[in-house]
Each structure stands twice: as structure tokens, then as C-alpha cells.
Structure 1
Amino acid sequence: MKLLTFYKKGVPALGVKTKAGIIDVAAALEVFPENGVFTDIMELINGGEEAVRRLQQFINSLDDKGAGFVKKEAEIEWGPAITKPSKILCVGLNYRKHADETKLPYPKVPILFNKFDNALTGHQSEIEVPRTTERLDHEVELGIVIGKTGKHIDEKDALDYVFGYCTTNDLSARDIQKSTSQWMVGKTNDGFAPVGPYLVTKDEIDNPNDLKLTTTVNGEVRQNSTTADMIFSCEHIISHISKFMTLKPGDLIMTGTPEGVIIGRPMKERVYLQPGDKVTVEVEKLGALTNTFIEDNE
């Protein structure tokens, strides 16, 4: 399933993308009541495989029952596909060609840093370019959403702990990021973690380590690669993180970006993101995530 979050009177609601459009799950339940069907993405994830099965059965049952609860994508206000992760964990320098373009050695173990939920935002949202940076960069990334609790997870079992996958953009204020040895302050400004448009359940993705990724800025292709270039696979990343902390349902892992970021270009060609720019990042089978950048007016 392709799951999503949208806002109804400012409150996050669960949607499911179908051929007919976006199913408003709560609205559909008002017409066709059904026990055990969740209407919030975090509750669904915590409900596990049985909750997903019930939701899928309910959606399938709606095929010929009218369209009063079906919305067009243009009608909804998108939220982040994952709304309240207990952790947002990010992997730095995880693509060979990205390491090459930045002239840095391949890491021996995954480089981990974090973002907070203030950074979360959704498809089609506007993101302020902070007044504190002159070097805002884009980073298309594959996002992994954890589906069940685990620690010391064996690499061969790691994908069993996945709920689904999503497109993410690890926005980075390079000048702030590089001002200290710790990257966090340049990585978790408000809106610096767009996620979506969908959270795609893992059954739709045969191999997360072989998915195409692209970024366009104002229609110009900037990044064009594949997760096959990752230094550390999805399985390795999950297993490695779980050695140090318990992974829980809803945790979001952003797995790193390929070559083509602005900081990887020759100095004279580095034109960083500005108010008015429109950036679209896309991961194969997961959807295209678009955001427009605006001035910081606060």
C-alpha cells in the first residue's frame, strides 16, 4: 500500500493512495464502520502486520461502494508521511561516488547523526531558507521506517524489522554543518526533513538496495543515481544501529545521499538553494517529493 498523511482542519489524518484517488480512511469508516482499522499512521505502524492486513482488506472492500470519501491529490494538504518517530537517524557519506566528489575516504563504519521532529514536513510544503545560512543544499535519500522493536538485529534478518520505505530530503546548511565537528546544527533546522509523499509498505519493494534516486532543482536534474552505490546496505545500517540503541516502530532512518549535491560541484559552479527554488527528490517506486523554498521572515 501507498500510505500518506494529510491534514483535516489542522489534524493529521491517514490516507491510502488508490487508482480512484486518495481514500480518507476515517471518512470511509464513518460510512462503512469496521473494527480494528486505524486512522493514524503511527497507530497503524504500531499495530504491526495484522493492522496493515486489516486496513488492506478494508480498502479492498470499498472498490464498488461510492466515492464520497475519495479525494484528489490536488485537494489535500500533505503532511509528512511519518509524523511522530521516536528517532530520526541519518547516515552520512554512504555513497561511493558522493564520497569521491567530496574527496573524502570511504567510512569504515556508518557515520550516524540525528534530526528532530521539528525538521519534518510534507510534500508541497514551503520551507524557509534560514537567515543563518548561505549554503543550503539538497540530498535525496531513501528513508526506512521501522515496523517492530529490535536490538542487536542480525543483518540477515534486518529487513524483517522494516515497515516500509519513503522518499526523503536531508536538507543541509553546509556552512553551519561544517562550523563544528558535529553536524547536527546544520541538519535539523525547521523543515529540513521533508518526507513523502507516501510511506510504501515493504511488500511493494523487492530490493531497497537497487532503487533509482533523482533530484531536480527548478526542473534541472542534479542527482541521478541508485541505492546500489551505497557503501552500507539497508540491512547493514539497520543491524549496525541496533547494536547501540533499541529500534522501535515508527523510527525513521535516512540512508545517505548519492553524488550530485551542490557542495560536490567545483567551487565556481556552487549555486546554493535560494527562496523561490523548487526542489523535487524522487526514489523509484516511492514517489516524488516536491518543496518550494521561501524567505525566512521570522
Structure 2
Amino acid sequence: MKLVSYRRNGVPEFGAVKEDGVVVLSARLSRVPDLASLLADEVALQEARRIAAQSQVDFPLDTVDLEPVIPRPAKIICVGINYVAHAAEAGRTVGKYPVIFHRFAETLLAHGAPLVRPTVSDNFDFEAELAVVIGKGGAHISPEDAMSHVAGYTCFNDASIRDWQFHTHQYGMGKNFRGTGALGPWLVTADEIPDYRQLSIQGVLNGEVLQTGSLSELAFDIPALISYVSQALDWQPGDILATGTPSGIGFKRQPPIFLKPGDKFDVMVPGVGTLSNPVADEARAVNAK
């Protein structure tokens, strides 16, 4: 099942994507306030499956305003240097523990919305990633039990302001500019993906493939990451785990390739979806609202 958050006539709703259309779930499951709450409610989720299977679409997908799959996740946990080839291009080695940093929900944007190149830098880089959406919360989760906490998967672009990222040895500021974290277009439920390690990922700039990887290449796999974070923080339904980017980022190319207005960047994960976003300068993006 594909699940999506969107606005229709300015009203937030959620639904299931089916045959390029939307089956509205929010109106049919009125006790469930949002998609994150649906993921946490196994009974409601099973009811949603039944509704999606038995219902005709209510309207075409392209008639709604998509939101990030989970519009306001409580946590966005990101993992750095998690592909061995990417670690090599960055001049880093994979350590004993994963490199963890955090994003704020206010930096997220939806499929189709412009990635915002800020006024203070033109070092605007791309990072194609698979994101995990948590369905069942918890603390002190064992790696053996971790996958039972996964609701599904979506695409993520952890677009980064490289010079700001390296202002200090803690590079979170360069990962938290407004309008730089694209998430979507939808969530594919975990039952549709028997083994995430079989997934591939590509980062495509203006039709040219610049990043290619396989989820089997993760230095720290998804169960290990879920378990590790849970030792410090309770996972909540709707939380996002961004698993890291493969090699091929623009910053490490010679000459460097940075995102600029008029570009389009796609994160492609066959079996999950394609997340596409144009690029605009900050002032233009703000004025367009």
C-alpha cells in the first residue's frame, strides 16, 4: 500500500495512492488525525488496507498539493558516512559507531516543491537517500526486533549547504536550512518490500545519473541503526530515519557540481518511488508562496 499526506482546498488529509489517484482515508477513518497516527494503530491500518483495496479513487493524485509524507515528524534522524564508497570519497573511514545527526521538521518539503538554494551560499549539494518511517515506537529495541518497528519506506534528499556544514566539526547547521529536505512522494508499507537490502538507489541531476548505490552496501544496516538510536531516544510513530547517501555527491566531484536554479534532482528507488524537485533561489521561492 502507498500512503500519502496532502492538502486539498487547503485542508490536510491523508490517503492511499492507487492507479494514479487517491483513495481518501482521513474522512473514512475520522478517529485517526493524521498519517503518523494511522501507522501507530494496527487496527486502523488494517481497515485502511481494506478500504484502499475495495474503493475506487476519489480524485487524481495530481489534483492535490502533496505534503512531506509525514508533515511534522517528531524526529528526523540522519546517518552520515554510511556507504563505504561514500566514506572513501569523503576521505573518511567507517567507525565503530554510526555518525548520527538530526534535521528539523521545518526544513522538510514535498515532492514537486522547489529545493531552496539559500541566499548565503551557492554550495548547495544533493544526497539521494532511502528513508525509513517508524510505525511502532519504543526504547532499547534489539536489532533482532527492529524491523517490526518499521512502517515503510520513502525517498529523501538530504540537500546540504556544504560550506556551512564545515564551519565547525559539528556540521548540523549545514543540514538544516529551510526548504532543503525533500521527503516523498509517498510511503510504501513494509509488507511491499520483503527485503530492503534488495533495493537500489540513484540520484539523478537533470536526467544524468550521478549517484548509484544498493541498500545492501550500508555500513550500518537498518536494524542496527534503529537499535542504536533507541538506546538514547524513544522512537515515535512517524519518526524518520534517513539511512545515508551513496557516493557521487557534487561536493567531491572535480570540478564540484552544485545545485542551481532551473535544475531538477530526482531520488529514484525502484519499488518505492521517485522523488522529484526543481531548484530555486531562496528569494524567488519565498516570493512564489
In structure 2, how many angstroms separate the alpha carbons of the residues matched to 1:62 and 1:230?
A: 38
Cα deviation per residue 1:17-73 (whole Å; 9 max; x = unaligned)? Answer: 11262223346x3xxxxx6774621221232x222101111222225xxx5x2x223
Tell me how large the CA RMSD over aligned residues is: 1.6
| Mapped contact 1:102–1:263 kept (Cα < 8 A) | no
Q: Which aligned pairs between 1:124-273 and structure 2 lie closer than 5 A?
A: 124-266=112-254, 269-273=255-259
Partner of 2:237: helix, strand, or coil?
coil
One-letter amino acid matched to 2:270: E
Secondary structure in 2 matching 1:196? strand
1:14 is matched with which residue? 14
**Structure 1 residues 278 and 20: CA distance shift in structure 2, 3 A:** closer
Q: Whole-Å Cα distance in 2 between the matches of residues 95 and 281 of structure 1?
A: 16
In the alignment, what sits opposite 2:35?
A: 41
Q: Shift of residue 140 of structure 1?
A: 0.7
* Partner Cα distance (1:100, 1:6) in 2: 39
Which letter maps to 1:101? Answer: E
Q: Which residue of 2 aligns with 1:99?
A: 87
The letter of the residue matching 2:60 is K
Between the aligned partners of 1:6 and 1:293, the Cα distance in structure 2 is 21
CA distance in 2, matches of 1:11, 1:292: 24
Gaps of 5+ in 2: none
* TM-score after normalising by structure 1: 0.91
State the percentage of identical aligned residues: 34
Q: Does 1:278 align with 2:267?
A: no
CA-CA distance at 1:155 after TM superposition? 0.5
Change beyond 3 A, Cα 1:174–1:218? same
Supply the distance in 2 between the matched residues of 1:102 and 1:190 (Cα, whole angstroms).
Answer: 25
Moved over 3 A (4+): 35-39
CA distance in 2, matches of 1:127, 1:110: 27
Contact 2:35 2:70 in 1 (8 A): yes
- Distance (Å, rounded) in 1 between the aligned partners of 2:121 and 2:276: 21
CA distance in 2, matches of 1:107, 1:174: 22
Q: What are the equivalent positions in structure 2 for 1:9-88 lying under 5 Å apart? A: 9-19=9-19, 21-26=21-26, 29=28, 38=32, 40-47=34-41, 49-63=42-56, 69=58, 71-88=59-76
Counterpart of 1:232, as a letter, is: F
Are the structure 2 counterparts of residues 45 and 56 from structure 1 closer, same or farther at C-alpha, using a change threshold of 3 Å? same
**Which residue is equivalent to 1:32?**
none
Aligned equivalents of 2:87, 2:120: Cα separation in 1: 26
SS in structure 1 of the partner of residue 248 of structure 2: coil
Give the letter for the 2:267 counterpart: V
C-alpha distance in structure 2 between counterparts of 1:224 and 1:58, whole Å: 37
CA distance in 2, matches of 1:201, 1:39: 19
TM value normalised by structure 2: 0.93
